[in-house]
Structure formats: structure tokens, C-alpha cells
């Protein structure tokens, strides 16, 4: 019997060989409807899904210690590399948003707020009016994927805030140092990047005198424990201790529509680079052109790298134009795609739109792929273009801007068939895919170059003399070091099932028959630097009264290169469960159904219904 057996169940772990000669962990459970022991701070009491949390008092902050239940809230890692780096001496852009809800695994909101202008900002503050706000893991993952640092909020306000500040600031240094140590520990554990300190109440002379010492000590400790850590002070209290706000945004300052042209953009500086333009939300879920589920969803950890948005006017008489926006109406992978609309006037042969700014030293051979489809009657040509510069002209570490004379636009030739060595990864090159999508592939040999920008080019059809209106939907862009595709893949290992929870449920079918709802937590081992996300396949089983039903979980890794991994490399586990004799149980989830989650993943909820 497993050492971590649930007290309400007989819990046994075995290992079997599958038909594909893979090792499969097998767990046994007896269905029981005892109250769920999961702590309400970390799990929703109705669904058992993991939730974000906050700390409401000084006592809670000082008492907090890392707990195993906190693991669902831990971000994947530090911010990705970008150019110019946050530490460079230049203007930086911060966005602070007052948010609600912290859905670790997303929600089914009809109209969620999804921020995707990451390329224009440097710092994101997750703000709320709780004393200590820990950024929800979805926001931290999305920001870090774009190289943006994330700050939590430490706030005091009103009379209660005055009392709290007196408690830790008006005394000796031990009190404010204890608070600083806890804030550093929280940021380090949850893998976000620092704190906004927001004191919005008056301070006594003793408290305001210690405030600079507290901020200085907190900053020093954070820099020691969190790489590139950051502490910001919200300028609302003056040196006398009086509460006097020093700055504001108001109705005269419209945000992104007017700011975009003035903000410095940021460059991607590492490979592989893959994006499906997913906003982390949608009205359905799509996997490689195949619709898997219909209904609204919102899950920021699934947000992919977003392009540089903007409107482009062609030179000349001004008739030509190009616009782009994200669209939920169709997707190749995830919940959205990028729609590019434009008009090519008769005197112009083609137009190129910059999608991404890059500062990437190019390996000897790169592989590029674009999945797209044209909508409407237009027959314009669609191709990827890239801009390269002489890497010898760049300052390594803080890469300087290249002059126009050192840059060149390149239009690689599409591959009709994939390279032999890469065929198992890119076997769909040049083919018509499901849903009307087309994949174009390119192989480029470059030496001593710096990849600077990625464009999509639209050219008028041969022989056309008329103005060309076009609508193109981009589903995915890939830029990969070709040599990385030849390396062996790690296998998902040590899949385990824990925190099993059963609930009576009613089927959504017409019969309204009683059934079971299963919630559980999956754990597995995998090298995170190699993975983009995981897909969890929940496969159905069947059972008879007094006999075992079967639920099978398959863990499919999606590598950062974005290609499909052979099934032999997936992890797997099965649960055999015994049911009360009043139930004849069958799984209602189709064998083919699966769900795309960004790691880390929480409890998997499955519905099991009874038959007649």
C-alpha cells in the first residue's frame, strides 16, 4: 500500500507494460463520497480546482511559510531573454492594472480581460487591495514568456493601514526587517520579480522615518535572492508622513491607441521561437486545425508570444494599407489567430509587414515554418521574409542597433518537400492541411549573421494590374535551430495520481442519470527547459457493478520547437476504480478528447456517468 494512501480509499500502485511496450503506472481506488480534505485557501471548495490566494494582514504575512499546496501557484521560471534588457539605461514602461480573480487553470468567462501588448512594456504590476497580493501564476507565466518582469503589491490603506504601518515601522529595525524577509521569500518561492510598495495612509513621524530604511533593506535583500529583482515605491506619502498623491492617469490619457507609436519595442533574443498567436482565451479549443471543444475559455498561461501590432500605410498616394488584429473566429492551435488585412495599389508589387523584432545570433542553419490561409477571393502570394545584419558590427551582451548599411532583407525559397533528416518533424511542408490551412517551410543557411526581424510578405498575383484586397489568417510561426531537431527527446516519467476526490454528478444528457465526477492531481517528471506546454489526454473506460472501471491519463509533452512528439515518449498512468453496486459506470469523455494546458497543471476533472 502506498505510503501516501488516502485514508478513505484503498490505494495501490502497480506498473504494467502497454501494447506499445511502455511502462504504465496503475493506481486503484474505491469510490467514496467522504468530505474533501483539501484546504480552502488553495482549492475551490466546489470544484477542487487550485486557486490563487492573498494575505490580508501583517500576522498572515509573518506566519507564511512555503507549503506543498503552493506548488500550483509557482511560475515556470524567470523572464525570457529580450533586447534591450530591463537593466539598460533607457526609459522603461510599467503597466499596473487593478484586477480581480486568480484562475490558475483559467475560467469559462464569456468576455475576459486578456492583456497582450507585452512587447511594449517592461514591468507589469498585479495590483489588488489586499495587504499582500501574490501575482496569479497565469499572469506571471504570460509576462515572463515575453520577457516582462512581474511585481506583486504590498499595500496599506485607511485607518487599518495606519495601524499596520505603526506595527512594523514605528519600532526598531527587527520589525521592518522581518516584513522584508517575508516579502523576499514569497517572491523567490513563487518566482516573480519583486514588489510595488504602496502606502496609502498617513504615517507617524517614527514610521515615516523608518520607511527609507525598510525600502533600502528590502531592495538589498531582494537583489541578493531574486535575479534582476525590483522594488518600486508608489509616490503617495511625502516626507512629513502626509498622504498626498503625486501623479495620476486621467480621462485625457487614452492608453494603447495613442501610446503605441511612442513606446520602445523589445526584441526576442533566443531560439526556438514559436507562436500560434493565442491570446490565452477563445470561444473554442483547437489543436492543429482540429476543433476539440466548444465554449468560452480563458487561461493566461496558454497565451503565446504576441506580435507588434500597428497600422501600416504604404508609401505613395496613401491608398495602400495593412492592418492586423487577433481574432477568435478561427485558430490553428489554441483559441485565436492573427488576421492581416490589406490593400495593394496597382503601382505596388508587394508589401511586407513586420511581425516581430529579434536580436538573435543565427546558428548555421535555421528552419522556418508558417501556417496560414487566405480568406475570400484574393490570390495574393504569402511568404516569410527575414532581416539579417552582420553580427560583427554588434556589441555582444548589450547588442547595439545596426545601421541600415549592415542590414539586408532576405526572402527564403519555400521547400516543396521537407529535408530528409527533418521529415518526421516537418512532414506537412507545402501541404494543404485540415480547415483550409497551408504550411510553408523554409531552410536557411547563414553564418556570422544576426537575425533582426521577421516579416510576412504579400505579393500581387502574376499578371494582375488591379488593386488587390486581401485577408490572410496566420495560425503559427516557427523559427528553429535545425540542429536541435536532431537531438533525442526526453520521455515523460514517473506519472502519479494523487488527491483523488469523487463527487456524485448528474449527466448532461437527456436521461439525467446519476454519475460520478472525478478530480485528481497528476505529477510527472520532465526537463522543463525543453517543453512549451503539456497536453493531458483523459481516456474513457468502463466497468460493471463490483468491478473496476478504468481511467487512463496520457501526458503529451509539446517541445519548445512546437512539433508533435511520438506517442512512445508520452507519460501514462491508469486508475482502476471500484464503484458502489448501485452504479453502472462509463466514462463520457471521448477517447480522442484532450485538453491543452500550460505547465504546471492542476487537478484534472473528469465526468463519469451511469448507464441505464
567 occurs within a structural domain: yes
39 occurs within a structural domain: no
Cell 490619457 found at: 253
- β-bridge pairing 449-459 and 468-481: unpaired
Q: For residue range 427-444, list pLDDT tens digits in order.
A: 677 778 888 899 998 888
Q: For residue range 69-116, list pLDDT tens digits in order.
A: 888 899 988 998 888 877 777 778 899 887 665 556 677 777 788 888
**The predicted structure's pLDDT at residue 418:** 61
Cell numbers that stand for 412 in this block = 527564403
Question: Rounded to whole angstroms, how far apart are CA atoms 368 and 362?
Answer: 12
**The predicted structure's pLDDT at residue 329:** 94
Is the pLDDT score of 327 beyond 90? yes
Is the pLDDT score of 295 beyond 90? yes
Cell 457493478 found at: 545
Residue 591 confidence class, pLDDT cut points 50, 70, 90: very low
Cis omega (within 30 of 0) for bond into 272: yes
Choose between 600 and 164: higher pLDDT: 164
Q: Are 9 and 500 in contact (CB under 8 A)?
A: yes
Domain that holds residue 561: 12-30+488-610
Residues 568, 552 share a domain: yes
For residue 277, what are the CA distances in angstroms to 149, 332, 529, 611? Answer: 21, 9, 21, 41
**The predicted structure's pLDDT at residue 210:** 94
Residues 287, 402 share a domain: yes
- HSE-CB at 111 with a 13 A cutoff on CA atoms is 0
Residues 321, 245 share a domain: no
Question: Rounded to whole angstroms, how far apart are CA atoms 68 and 84?
Answer: 37
Q: For residue range 8-29, list pLDDT tens digits in order.
A: 333 344 555 555 556 677 888 8
**The predicted structure's pLDDT at residue 114:** 80
**The predicted structure's pLDDT at residue 261:** 58
Among residues 238, 262, 286, the one where a domain terminates is 262
Lowest mean per-residue pLDDT among 124-128, 233-237, 455-459, 497-501: 233-237
What are the residue ranges of helices labelled H in 195-283? Answer: 205-225, 256-259
Among residues 486, 518, 550, the one where a domain terminates is 486
Among residues 243, 262, 281, the one where a domain terminates is 262
Cell numbers that stand for 473 in this block = 489568417
Percent of the chain with pLDDT over 70: 75
Residues 143, 166 share a domain: yes
CATH code assigned at 475: 2.60.120.260
Question: Rounded to whole angstroms, how far apart are CA atoms 223 and 523?
Answer: 32
Is the pLDDT score of 307 beyond 60? yes
**The predicted structure's pLDDT at residue 168:** 96
Is the pLDDT score of 386 beyond 70? yes
**The predicted structure's pLDDT at residue 583:** 47
Choose between 469 and 44: higher pLDDT: 469
- For residues 347-368, average pLDDT: 86
CATH code assigned at 123: 3.20.20.80
Choose between 308 and 570: higher pLDDT: 570
38 occurs within a structural domain: no
388 occurs within a structural domain: yes
Question: Rounded to whole angstroms, how far apart are CA atoms 488 and 565?
Answer: 11
Residues 210, 112 share a domain: yes
**The predicted structure's pLDDT at residue 608:** 37
Residues 322, 216 share a domain: no
**The predicted structure's pLDDT at residue 399:** 28
Residues 190, 139 share a domain: yes
For residue 310, what are the CA distances in angstroms to 186, 235, 257, 261? Answer: 38, 33, 9, 8
Residues 525, 502 share a domain: yes
Residues 518, 558 share a domain: yes
Residues 410, 277 share a domain: yes
- For residues 230-258, average pLDDT: 65
- For residues 315-328, average pLDDT: 80
Residues 505, 436 share a domain: no
Mean model confidence pLDDT for the chain: 79
Provide the 8-state DSSP code for 459: E
- HSE-CB at 271 with a 13 A cutoff on CA atoms is 22
Q: Are 133 and 155 in contact (CB under 8 A)?
A: yes
Q: For residue range 53-66, list pLDDT tens digits in order.
A: 899 999 999 999 99
281 occurs within a structural domain: yes
Residue 250 confidence class, pLDDT cut points 50, 70, 90: very low
3 occurs within a structural domain: no
Q: For residue range 99-109, list pLDDT tens digits in order.
A: 665 556 677 77
Cis omega (within 30 of 0) for bond into 84: yes
**The predicted structure's pLDDT at residue 103:** 59
Residue 175 confidence class, pLDDT cut points 50, 70, 90: very high
Count: domains in the chain: 3
Lowest mean per-residue pLDDT among 44-53, 86-95, 200-209, 310-319: 310-319
Is the pLDDT score of 547 beyond 70? no
36 occurs within a structural domain: no
Choose between 592 and 552: higher pLDDT: 552
**The predicted structure's pLDDT at residue 248:** 52
Residues 498, 473 share a domain: no
Choose between 319 and 285: higher pLDDT: 285
Q: For residue range 232-244, list pLDDT tens digits in order.
A: 988 777 777 777 6
454 occurs within a structural domain: yes
Amino acid at each position: 500500500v502506498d505510503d501516501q494512501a488516502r485514508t478513505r480509499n484503498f490505494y495501490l500502485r502497480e506498473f504494467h507494460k502497454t501494447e506499445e511496450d511502455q511502462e504504465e503506472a496503475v493506481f486503484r481506488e474505491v469510490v467514496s463520497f467522504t468530505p474533501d480534505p483539501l484546504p480552502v485557501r488553495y482549492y475551490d471548495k466546489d470544484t477542487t480546482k487550485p486557486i490563487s490566494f492573498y494575505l490580508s494582514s501583517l500576522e498572515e504575512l509573518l506566519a507564511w511559510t512555503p507549503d506543498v499546496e503552493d506548488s500550483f501557484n509557482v511560475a515556470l521560471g524567470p523572464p525570457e531573454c529580450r533586447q534591450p534588457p530591463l537593466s539598460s539605461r533607457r526609459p522603461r514602461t510599467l503597466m499596473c492594472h487593478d484586477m480581480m480573480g486568480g484562475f490558475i487553470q483559467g475560467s469559462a468567462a464569456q468576455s475576459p480581460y486578456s492583456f497582450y501588448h507585452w512587447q511594449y512594456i517592461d514591468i507589469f504590476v498585479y495590483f489588488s487591495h489586499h495587504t499582500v497580493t501574490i501575482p496569479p501564476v497565469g499572469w506571471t507565466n504570460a509576462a515572463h514568456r515575453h520577457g516582462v518582469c512581474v511585481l506583486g503589491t504590498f499595500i496599506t490603506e485607511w485607518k487599518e493601514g495606519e495601524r499596520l504601518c505603526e506595527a512594523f515601522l514605528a519600532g526598531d529595525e527587527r520589525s521592518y526587517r522581518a516584513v522584508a524577509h517575508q516579502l523576499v521569500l514569497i517572491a523567490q518561492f513563487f518566482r516573480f520579480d519583486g514588489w510595488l510598495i504602496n502606502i496609502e495612509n498617513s504615517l507617524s513621524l517614527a514610521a515615516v522615518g523608518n520607511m527609507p530604511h525598510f525600502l533600502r533593506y528590502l531592495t538589498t535583500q531582494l537583489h541578493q535572492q531574486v535575479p534582476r529583482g525590483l522594488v518600486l515605491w508608489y509616490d503617495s506619502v511625502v516626507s512629513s508622513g502626509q498622504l498626498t498623491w503625486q501623479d495620476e492617469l486621467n480621462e485625457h490619457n487614452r492608453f494603447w491607441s495613442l501610446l503605441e507609436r511612442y513606446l520602445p519595442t523589445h526584441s526576442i533574443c533566443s531560439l526556438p521561437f514559436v507562436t500560434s498567436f493565442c491570446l490565452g482565451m477563445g470561444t473554442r479549443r483547437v489543436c492543429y486545425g482540429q476543433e476539440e471543444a466548444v465554449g468560452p475559455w480563458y487561461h493566461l498561461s496558454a497565451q503565446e508570444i504576441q506580435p507588434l501590432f500597428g497600422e501600416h500605410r504604404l508609401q505613395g498616394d496613401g491608398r495602400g494599407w495593412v492592418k492586423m488584429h487577433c481574432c477568435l473566429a478561427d485558430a490553428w492551435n489554441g483559441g485565436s489567430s492573427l488576421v492581416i488585412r490589406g490593400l495593394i495599389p496597382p503601382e505596388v508589387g508587394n508589401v511586407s509587414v513586420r511581425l516581430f523584432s529579434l536580436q538573435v545570433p543565427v546558428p548555421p542553419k535555421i528552419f522556418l515554418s508558417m501556417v496560414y490561409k487566405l480568406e475570400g477571393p484574393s490570390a495574393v502570394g504569402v511568404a516569410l521574409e527575414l532581416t539579417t545584419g552582420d553580427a560583427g558590427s554588434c556589441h555582444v551582451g548589450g547588442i547595439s542597433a545596426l545601421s541600415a548599411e549592415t542590414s539586408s532583407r532576405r526572402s527564403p525559397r519555400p521547400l516543396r518537400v521537407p529535408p530528409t533528416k527533418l521529415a518526421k518533424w516537418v512532414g506537412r511542408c507545402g501541404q494543404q492541411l485540415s480547415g483550409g490551412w497551408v504550411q510553408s517551410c523554409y531552410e536557411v543557411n547563414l553564418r556570422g549573421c544576426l537575425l533582426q526581424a521577421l516579416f510576412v510578405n504579400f505579393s500581387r498575383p502574376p499578371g494582375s494590374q488591379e488593386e488587390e484586397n486581401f485577408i490572410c489568417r496566420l495560425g503559427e510561426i516557427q523559427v528553429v535551430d535545425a540542429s536541435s531537431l536532431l537531438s533525442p527527446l526526453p520521455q515523460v516519467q514517473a506519472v502519479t495520481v494523487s488527491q483523488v476526490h469523487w463527487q456524485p454528478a448528474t449527466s448532461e444528457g437527456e436521461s439525467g442519470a446519476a454519475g460520478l465526477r472525478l478530480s485528481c492531481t497528476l505529477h510527472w517528471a520532465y526537463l522543463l527547459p525543453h517543453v512549451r506546454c503539456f497536453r493531458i489526454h483523459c481516456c474513457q473506460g468502463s466497468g460493471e457493478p463490483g468491478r473496476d472501471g478504468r481511467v487512463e491519463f496520457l501526458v503529451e509533452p509539446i517541445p519548445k520547437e512546437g512539433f508533435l512528439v511520438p506517442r512512445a515518449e508520452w507519460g501514462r498512468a491508469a486508475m482502476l476504480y471500484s464503484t458502489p453496486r448501485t452504479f453502472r459506470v462509463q466514462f463520457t469523455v471521448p477517447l480522442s478528447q484532450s485538453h491543452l494546458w500550460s505547465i504546471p497543471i492542476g487537478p484534472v476533472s473528469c465526468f463519469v456517468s451511469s448507464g441505464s
